[in-house]
Amino acid sequence: MHKRHLPWLAMALITLLAACGTGTAPSPTQAPEGQARQAPASPADPALHPDPALDPVLSGGRPQVASDPAGLAHQLTVAETAIRDARTPPDQLNAAAWTAQVAYRTLEYRPDWDGAVLGAVPSRLHEVVLRNTAARREFLAMQGSLDDTLPTWRMIEPLPAAQLRGIYGEAQRRFGVPWQVLAAVHLVETGSGRIVGLSTAGAQGPMQFMPATWDSYGMGGDVWDTRDAMMGAANYLAANGAADGELDRALYRYNNDTRYVRAVRHYASVMRIDERAFLGYHARPVYYRTSAGDIMLPVGYESSRSLPVQEWLARPR
């Protein structure tokens, strides 16, 4: 583990949670099934006045990479606020989700920016920023050697957010595993279902099951079907203690790395704080870390062979 990346952030997160009096994020008032909790109204209508921080995406480009802590803090404030505002129209929600994603992927490499960024974002977003950044750094610490090829995946649109939320809720009711945990695992395993392909270990489907595990917990379903896969994942997690106060143990059985466990818990906690965070995660594109940097794999990407990164980058866009 690259511990040099974590101390300041870890101390800030511990302090914040201690101030809240608990190590678990507070649960919001529950919205009706399949609906996100609405953020309080504010005077300005974001649909009429989108912040310039979202302009690069709204104009058909990609998010701008912040060059300093103040710029990154502004991006996160604008993006995370828009995600949590029920009046934000779909195009701006997508722009906000992508902008936040790029900001966090920038901040994960810059622990020296942590103090300035946290000092510049509103206190209402402190835990959101801390947990998202901590999750990114857990995955960075898990990173092995970087590939110079892109994977043999096919990238598709995920199921609509409301439909996925309904599936998560059904699995929670049936097996007692919090829907936020299922959504977080789905996010980190296949980008909420965007990735169609096998892992390097041979795991399959939107929840990445090894064949033998699926045979034991898939209940006769189709490992590539989202609903079947979600029920199988909830069944597996519940059987390993997730519904009985042993969530960390269950997640560790899902992926034998404590950093994975912590990262999933961070994302689940962000969604527990405000359900609309799920909409932001759902809208994120997939990035693949390579020796040439982070490569965004758009919907429609498909390769039946390991594709050299430079060959992909040389293709006309």
pLDDT tens for 90-101 read: 999 999 999 999
Give 195's contacts (C-beta < 8 A, 6+ positions apart).
153, 154, 155, 206, 286
Which residues have C-beta within 8 Å of that of residue 154, sequence separation ≥ 6?
A: 195, 196, 197, 301, 302
Q: Give the three-class secondary structure for 297.
A: strand
Query: CATH 1.10.530: does it fit domain 150-287?
Result: yes
Q: In the chain, where are the structural domains located?
A: 3-20+54-143, 150-287
Mean pLDDT of the chain: 89
Flag whether pLDDT at 68 surpasses 90.
yes
Can you give the pLDDT at residue 159? 99
Instruction: State the pLDDT confidence band at 46, using cuts at 50, 70 and 90.
Output: low
- For residue 22, the model assigns a pLDDT of 38
- Distance of alpha carbon 262 from alpha carbon 197, whole angstroms: 25
DSSP 233: H
Given a cut of 50, is residue 34 above it in pLDDT?
Answer: no
Centroid of chain to Cα 193: 12
Tell me the percentage of the chain whose pLDDT exceeds 70.
85
Asked if pLDDT for residue 18 goes beyond 50, the answer is no
Confidence of residue 20 (pLDDT cuts 50, 70, 90): very low
Strand, helix or coil for residue 200: coil
Q: Which of 16-30, 118-132, 207-221, 295-309 has the lowest mean pLDDT?
A: 16-30
Alpha-carbon gap, residue 119 to 311, rounded angstroms:
42
Q: 188-227 burial, b for 16+ CB within 10 Å, e for fewer? A: bbbbbbbbebeeeeebbbbbbbeeebbeebbeebebeebb
User: 245-298 pLDDT, tens per residue?
Assistant: 999 999 999 999 999 999 999 999 999 999 999 999 999 999 999 999 999 999
CA-nearest of 120, 121, 96, 142 to 276 is 96
Predicted confidence (pLDDT) at residue 7 exceeds the cutoff of 70: no
Confidence at 134, pLDDT banded by 50, 70, 90? very high
DSSP letters, 23-68, are SSPPPPPPPSTT-PPPPPP-SS-TTTS--GGGHHHHTTS-PPPPSS
pLDDT band at 39 (very low <50, low <70, confident <90, very high): very low
Q: What is the pLDDT of residues 193-234, one digit of tens each?
A: 999 998 888 899 999 999 999 999 999 999 999 999 999 999
Q: What is the pLDDT of residue 12?
A: 44
Distances (CA, A) of 316 to 45, 117, 172, 241, 289: 38, 36, 44, 49, 21
> Own/partner pairs for 217-226, CB < 8 Å, 24+ apart?
224/196, 226/159, 226/164, 226/167, 226/193
pLDDT at site 32: 38
Give pLDDT, residue 130: 98
Would you mind telling me the total number of residues written for the chain in this entry? Answer: 317
- Whether 133 has a pLDDT exceeding 90, the answer reads yes
Q: How far apart are CA 90 and CA 83, in angstroms?
A: 10
Model confidence at 10: pLDDT above 90: no
Is the pTM of the predicted complex or chain greater than 0.95?
Answer: no
Least confident of 168-172, 175-179, 198-202, 210-214: 198-202
- The larger pLDDT score, comparing residue 120 to residue 46, is at 120
pLDDT at 19 over 50: no
Over 90: is that where the pLDDT of 14 sits?
no
Task: Name the token pair of 182.
Answer: 């299922």
